[in-house]
């Protein structure tokens, strides 16, 4: 058996299924480029049949990405599979990922219709046939076909073995064993993988992949148990984002394999020094911040603060460090960026962060950098990423904030007045609300004559200290149920909120 573990990244598909997140095709392409630098083996770019935008995302990623295989998801339904084949037409290494639910709970719950059979036994026979037919059809669109046995973690093992055998016979090259609901525990999941190797007669013709969810906080442990028992592909996402409690965090899986190579005896092809940068790019684009105590990429993952630890660390870093920050892309020494840093210092830091800008782009970034630096003592890397994000994905500014005034306090009725430039015409309005943000948004709705629904509002400090930049992320729902994400950054949180709201309105106006 190979001693290499393939890394399958599903940040752009399962990761993006995290509640309240949505990525457009250009944002997906930006992340895919970074995943290619990280050197993942497979990028699952999306689910083409789910929406025209996702179809386009897969197409764009497939056209451009050279190293990793580009994969697209489908149900075991001909139209889905055909959409995958079409979206992947220009991929250098296309992979179609198709599959179906195999646990009794999924079969009885999702395939209730009598057309799938009247008894559970009849339905199971039908699902088995659908699985094999789906793989056969997918093989017409790609030589590389991965089959997922959804909810394998709760399936009847004997039935699971039969389905897997049929999928391999139909041409599957990779078998994905998902613990869809994060129900299993490591010993049990490891034993399941071992039993698949022992009981599926044609298993030598396929690679076993593990796809674990984190409902009980066990996704990484379960994935590693799978690898210990013969899986040679691990699926997961950057920062562990995904449906409900998320997926296995790839940076954790890879660093566990690397740091404990003495135990696992296995390697990946991942360029681990790209982890930090990838983590922050994904966090920024999805508006989901990374908790400071997050393993491998959290802000505190390589910070030492208590006296005993600092003393030991300074004498010999291995006393309290099992990995080196440089190995995951954190710079060892830090240059403090301030308003006096100058263009050369800024260009150097941007280069280290992976952004090569043209002289004109650097000029524009420098002006925005100065505006931020004037308000803060120090400009952090996250500030730069936030500034660049606004530049990389500019949206036509239908509405521009000219002026914001608000009045609030413990004994006052929150009131806000805004002046906007709307396609060149200046308009003003004032409103009261439950708080200054609510008042400002109402004033904006009035002056723009829009009725977008605010479905999510999140605020976080992107940097530390009282001079931090506040970043507000909103999700707005416009006419026809179209949802967009708006972001705003400012040292003033009310201003950041208004900017985020206007960013969202501008995106809705551009749809
Ligand atoms: O969790 C899961 O079962 C999945 C499949 C669609 C692969 O994401
Ligand atoms: Zn999943």
CB distance 180 to ligand 1 below 6 Å: yes
Q: What atom in ligand 1 is closest to the CA of residue 14? A: 8
Spell out a b/e string for 412-439, using b for 16 or more CB atoms within 10 Å of the CB, else e. Answer: eebbbbbbbeeeeeeeebbbebeebbbb
Q: Of 30-44, 67-81, 89-103, 310-324, where does mean pLDDT reach its minimum?
A: 310-324
Closest ligand 1 atom to 10 CA: 8
Report residue 144 as tokens: 């590389």
SS3 91: coil
Residues 270, 271, 277: CA angle, nearest 5 degrees: 115
The alpha carbon of 304 and the centre of ligand 2 are apart by a number of angstroms equal to 35
What pLDDT is recorded for position 300? 77
**pTM of the predicted model as reported, rounded to 2 decimal places:** 0.73
User: Is the CB of residue 103 below 6 angstroms from any atom belonging to ligand 1?
Assistant: no
Q: Is the CB of 232 under 6 A from ligand 1?
A: no
Q: Is 21's pLDDT higher than 80?
A: no
Q: Which CATH number fits domain 6-286: 2.60.120.10, 3.60.10.10, 3.20.20.70, 3.40.50.720?
A: 3.20.20.70
- Domain covering 303-391 assigned CATH 1.10.238 in the classification: yes
Residue 44 CA to ligand 1 centre (angstroms): 12
**Is any ligand 1 atom within 6 A of the Cβ of residue 148?**
yes
* Nearest by Cα to 64 from 91, 38, 28: 91
* 85 phi/psi in degrees, rounded to 5: -60, -40
Using one digit for the tens of pLDDT, what is the confidence trace for 158-170?
999 999 999 999 9
Q: Which residue, by CA, sits nearest to atom 1 of ligand 1?
A: 180
Residue whose CA lies nearest to ligand 1 atom number 7:
148
| Contact call for residues 57 and 70 (beta carbons, < 8 A) | no
Q: How do residues 286-316 score in pLDDT, each as one tens digit?
A: 888 899 899 999 877 876 555 566 566 666 7
Residue 332 is predicted with a pLDDT of: 55
For residue 8 and ligand 1, the question of a CB distance below 6 A is answered with: no
pLDDT at res. 391: 73
Closest by alpha carbon to 462, among 330, 342, 341, 372? 372
CA separation for the pair 476, 508 (Å, rounded): 8
Indicate which residue's Cα is closest to atom 5 of ligand 1. 150
pLDDT-derived band at 508 (thresholds 50, 70, 90) equals confident
Is the beta carbon of 182 within 6 A of some atom in ligand 1?
A: no
pLDDT of 333: 42
List, edge to edge, every strand of the sheet that includes 399-407: 399-407, 415-422, 425-432
180 C-alpha to ligand 1 centroid (Å): 6
> Residue 384: helix, strand or coil by DSSP?
helix
Q: Backbone dihedral region of 182: left (phi > 0), alpha (psi from -120 to 50 degrees) or beta?
A: left
Test site for ligand 1: of 18, 76, 99, most ligand atoms within 8 A of the Cβ: 99
Q: Whose CA is nearest to atom 8 of ligand 1?
A: 14
Helix (H) or strand (E) holding 7: strand 6-9
Specify the CATH class of 399-510 in words: alpha beta
Where is average pLDDT lowest: 361-365, 441-445, 467-471?
Answer: 467-471
Tell me the pLDDT of the chain averaged across its residues: 90
Pocket mutation for ligand 1, best pick of 18, 77, 150 (most atoms within 8 Å of C-beta): 150
Q: Is 272 a residue whose pLDDT tops 70?
A: yes
Domain ranges across the chain: 6-286, 303-391, 399-510
Q: Which of 345-349, 389-393, 437-441 has the highest mean pLDDT?
A: 437-441
- Residue 351 pLDDT: 81
Whose alpha carbon is nearest atom 2 of ligand 1? 180
Would the CB of 16 count as within 6 Å of ligand 1? no
Residue 196 has pLDDT above 60, yes or no: yes
7 vs 237: CA distance, rounded Å: 10
Whether 377 contacts 467, CB under 8 Å: yes
Which H or E run includes 474?
strand 470-477
In order of 194, 237, 297, 424, the CA distances from 251 in angstroms are 25, 8, 8, 47
**H helix runs in 180-274, sequence order:** 186-199, 219-228, 250-259, 261-264
Q: For residue 247, give the ligand 1 atom closest to its CA.
A: 1
Residues lining ligand 2 (ion), CB within 5 A? Answer: 14
Edge-to-edge strands, sheet with 470-477? 453-461, 470-477, 483-490
> pLDDT tens digit string along 116-140?
999 999 999 999 999 999 999 999 9
**Residue 10 CB less than 6 A away from ligand 1:** no
**What single DSSP character describes residue 267?**
B
Measured in Å, residue 73 CA sits from the centre of ligand 1 at 9
Task: For residue range 405-433, list pLDDT tens digits in order.
Answer: 998 888 889 999 999 999 889 999 999 99
């Amino acid at each position: 058996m190979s001693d290499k573990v393939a890394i399958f990244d599903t940040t752009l598909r399962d990761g993006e299924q995290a509640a309240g997140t949505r990525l457009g095709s250009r944002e997906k392409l930006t992340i895919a480029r970074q995943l290619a630098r990280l050197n993942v083996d497979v990028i699952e770019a999306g689910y083409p049949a789910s929406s025209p935008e996702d179809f386009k995302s897969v197409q764009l990623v497939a056209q451009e990405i050279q190293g990793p295989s580009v994969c697209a998801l489908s149900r075991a339904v001909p139209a889905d599979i055909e959409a995958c084949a079409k979206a992947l037409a220009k991929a250098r290494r296309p992979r179609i990922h198709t599959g179906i639910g195999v646990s009794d709970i999924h079969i009885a719950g999702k395939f209730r219709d009598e057309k799938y059979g009247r008894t559970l036994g009849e339905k199971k026979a039908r699902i088995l046939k659908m699985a094999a037919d789906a793989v056969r059809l997918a093989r017409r669109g790609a030589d590389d076909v991965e089959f997922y046995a959804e909810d394998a973690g709760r399936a009847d093992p004997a039935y699971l073995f039969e389905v897997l055998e049929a999928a391999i016979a139909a041409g599957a090259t990779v078998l994905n064993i998902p613990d869809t609901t994060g129900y299993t525990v490591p010993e049990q999941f490891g034993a399941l993988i071992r039993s698949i190797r022992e009981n599926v007669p044609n298993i030598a013709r396929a690679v076993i992949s593990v796809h674990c969810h984190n409902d009980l906080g066990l996704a990484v442990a379960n994935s590693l148990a799978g690898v210990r028992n013969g899986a040679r592909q691990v699926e997961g996402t950057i920062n562990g984002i995904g449906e409900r409690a998320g997926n296995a965090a790839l940076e954790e899986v890879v660093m566990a394999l690397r740091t404990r190579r003495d135990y696992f005896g296995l390697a990946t092809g991942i360029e681990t020094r790209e982890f930090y940068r990838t983590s922050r790019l994904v966090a920024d684009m999805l508006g989901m911040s990374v908790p400071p105590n997050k393993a491998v990429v959290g802000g505190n993952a390589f910070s030492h603060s208590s006296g005993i630890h600092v003393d030991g660390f300074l004498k010999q870093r291995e006393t309290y460090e099992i990995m080196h920050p440089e190995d995951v892309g954190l710079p060892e020494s830090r240059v403090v960026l301030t308003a006096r840093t100058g263009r050369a210092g800024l260009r150097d830091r941007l280069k280290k962060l992976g952004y090569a800008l043209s002289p004109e782009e650097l000029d524009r970034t420098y002006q925005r950098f100065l505006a931020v630096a004037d308000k803060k003592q120090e400009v952090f890397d996250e500030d730069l990423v936030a500034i660049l994000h606004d530049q990389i994905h500019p949206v036509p500014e239908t509405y521009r904030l000219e002026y914001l005034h608000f009045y609030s306090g413990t004994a006052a009725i929150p009131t806000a007045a805004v002046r906007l430039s709307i396609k060149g015409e200046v308009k003003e309005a004032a409103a009261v609300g439950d708080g200054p943000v609510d008042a400002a948004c109402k004033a904006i709705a009035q002056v723009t004559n829009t009725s977008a629904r605010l479905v999510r509002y999140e605020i976080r400090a992107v940097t530390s200290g009282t001079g931090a930049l506040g970043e507000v992320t909103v999700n707005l729902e416009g006419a026809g149920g179209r949802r967009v994400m708006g972001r705003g950054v400012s040292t003033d949180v009310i201003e950041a909120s208004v900017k985020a709201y206007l960013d969202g309105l501008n995106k809705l106006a551009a749809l």
